[in-house]
Amino acid sequence: MIVMRVSPDGVFGGIYVQNEVMIYRFMTPNGDLLPEKVSGRPVETHRVNHANFQKMLDLYIFRKPGANDVSADYQMYVLFEEGILLYPNIERKMEP
């Protein structure tokens, strides 16, 4: 299953393929679109290493409420039939 989603403001996008979520940045902090060469490469790849989370349903990328720093203030929920994983900062390699 492949799932693609973009944050509501269009800054980040995520693609889920075979237990990996690849994060892409589409805009600069001031709202300018990035060139295709830059936005076509993932800024981070998160591997889902939880054996009991198999059937992925959806993912949602959003800016933390009240956040000021654009690059460090995006989170991601990955929804599975078995539960939900939260990635508190999508641009850093962090375990949910």
Q: Residue ranges of the alpha helices (H) in 8-83?
A: 36-39
Task: For residue 57, give Cα distances in angstroms to 16, 33, 38, 43, 81.
Answer: 10, 29, 28, 23, 6
Whether residue 95 is contained in a domain is answered as no
Confidence band for 70, pLDDT divided at 50, 70 and 90? low
Residues 27/34, Cβ–Cβ less than 8 Å? yes
Whether residue 92 is contained in a domain is answered as no
Whether residue 65 is contained in a domain is answered as yes
Whether residue 96 is contained in a domain is answered as no
- What is the predicted pLDDT for the residue at 91? 76
Higher per-residue confidence, 95 vs 51: 51
Its pTM stands at: 0.83
Q: Residue type for 95, please?
A: E
Whether residue 93 is contained in a domain is answered as no
> Per the structure, how many domains does the chain have?
1
Residue 96 has pLDDT above 60, yes or no: no
- What's the chain's average pLDDT? 86
Q: What is the CA radius of gyration of the chain?
A: 13
Q: Which of 39-43, 47-51, 55-59 has the lowest mean pLDDT?
A: 47-51
